[in-house]
Amino acid sequence: MASRWCIYVAHQWRLPKVMLGLFVLELPLTVAALALFGIADPNTYRTRLWQNGADKGFNSNPNEILYAYANYKPISVPLIWSQFITTFNVIISVLSLFVLLVKSTMYVLHAFVPLLSVSIHALLIALYAVSIRNQATPDVSNTKVPNLSRSMPWYLSKGCSHATAGNEGYCMQARASFGVTITMFVLFIVYFALSLWSSIITPAEKSERKETYDTDIELKNARYTYDDPNAGLSQEEKWERNRQIFLNLPKTPNTPRFAGPAMTPRTTAFTQLSGEGVAAAPATGSSTRPLAFRQQFEREVRVPDPI
């Protein structure tokens, strides 16, 4: 049975072919994000890029953290070089792959409605916005260095031309991770906009939903009217009807008293085979009698005389 709110909820997509195209586009992007973030975990090149920027005077030095720990001084690792950002990116990439598999399956089964898509992609947009903000956070922990980048990390703002020997590939991977994150963010915005537009039900679909709802209500009322024999009766008429039904209930029959022992089908069968049916018939009132085939067999079969 359809509920009332289903009349105002759209179940059909405005551009189904566009949705299929977005699914196809999202798959390689999700795999790329999962691969890049997985390579960076746990600390493949984060500290190397940190030290590279410190050698060029673009950010703080990772040795300062070690000195602070050795001297028991309170200090915190800058967010851009922390383990939190790497773990967070791995988690959202795995979550994105899981959501892609689930929503594509539901879409093929016509169970992925636009309203559900709005909520899911709103969550993904928020997660990837946090990831972009974390990856673009500058390192301003060392205030003694005047050349620190105040906008983005050095590998994003200055490029990989400042990477030292051995760090060029890591620099490109970090930039690629940031680019894939932005692309996924834009893709989810497109998903969200299309889902929001498709959630606005069209007049034709609304009329179809209302017709289906009214039909279900009529069938429900007709079923209740058919099942309830007291429909349309007053309280007194219902009470009188139930009383008459109770008075006219069939009484439980009394168990007859047999003069002889109780006869079961098995007892009757063995009685007939043993030839005692004639004697048992008057006692039980039954019509059992010896089997004619047995009597005939006894007459025809003769025991041969001994030689």
| pLDDT tens digits, 225-276 | 444 555 567 777 777 777 777 676 665 555 555 445 555 666 666 666 665 5
pTM, two decimals, is 0.66
Q: Are residues 281 and 289 in contact, defined by beta-carbon separation less than 8 angstroms? A: yes
CB atoms under 10 Å from CB of 271, counted, come to 21
Whether residue 117 is contained in a domain is answered as yes
Residue 269's pLDDT is: 62
Q: Same structural domain for residues 149 and 192?
A: yes
**Which range in 15-24, 221-230, 268-277 is most confidently predicted, on average pLDDT?**
15-24
Structure confidence at residue 283 as a pLDDT band (50, 70, 90): very low
Question: Mean pLDDT, the chain, as a whole number?
Answer: 78
Whether residue 86 is contained in a domain is answered as yes
Q: Which two structure tokens, joined as six digits, stand for 129?
A: 């916005």
Q: Same structural domain for residues 31 and 170?
A: yes
Alpha-carbon distance of 235 to 94, in angstroms, equals 63
Angle at 260 (CA atoms; ends 255, 262), nearest 5 degrees: 55
Whether residue 83 is contained in a domain is answered as yes
Alpha-carbon distance of 159 to 148, in angstroms, equals 15
Residue 258's pLDDT is: 47
Q: What is the CA radius of gyration of the chain?
A: 43
Q: Same structural domain for residues 212 and 289?
A: no
Is the pLDDT reported for residue 120 higher than 60? yes
Whether residue 305 is contained in a domain is answered as no
Is the pLDDT reported for residue 212 higher than 90? no
Residue 268's pLDDT is: 64
**Range with lowest mean pLDDT among 10-14, 122-126, 163-167:** 10-14
Beta strands in 58-174 (DSSP E): none
Is the pLDDT reported for residue 278 higher than 50? no
Domain that holds residue 279: 265-293
Is the pLDDT reported for residue 102 higher than 90? yes
Whether residue 256 is contained in a domain is answered as no
Structure confidence at residue 6 as a pLDDT band (50, 70, 90): low
Residue 59's pLDDT is: 84
Q: Same structural domain for residues 275 and 189?
A: no
Give DSSP secondary structure letters for 6-73. GGGS--S-S-HHHHHHHHHHHHHHHHHHHHHHHHHTTTSSHHHHHHHHHHHTSS--HHHHHHHHHTT-
**Range with lowest mean pLDDT among 34-38, 95-99, 134-138, 181-185:** 134-138
**Range with lowest mean pLDDT among 43-52, 72-81, 252-261:** 252-261
Share of the chain above pLDDT 90, in %: 38
Q: Is the dihedral of CA 150, 156, 161, 167 positive or negative?
A: positive
Domain count, the chain: 3
Share of the chain above pLDDT 70, in %: 65
Whether residue 237 is contained in a domain is answered as no
Structure confidence at residue 60 as a pLDDT band (50, 70, 90): confident
Q: Same structural domain for residues 17 and 107?
A: yes
Residue 189's pLDDT is: 97
Is the pLDDT reported for residue 57 higher than 70? yes
- Which one is predicted more confidently, 228 or 29? 29
Predicted confidence (pLDDT) per residue in 139-155, tens digit = 877 656 555 556 789 89
Alpha-carbon distance of 138 to 156, in angstroms, equals 10
Q: Same structural domain for residues 182 and 217?
A: no
- Which one is predicted more confidently, 233 or 187? 187
Q: Same structural domain for residues 121 and 210?
A: no
Residue 132's pLDDT is: 95
**CA proximity to 28, closest of 184, 169, 172, 174:** 184
Interval 172-193 mean pLDDT: 96
Whether residue 184 is contained in a domain is answered as yes
Residue 191's pLDDT is: 96
Is the pLDDT reported for residue 37 higher than 80? yes
235 to 155, 217, 222, 232: CA distances (angstroms): 84, 25, 21, 10
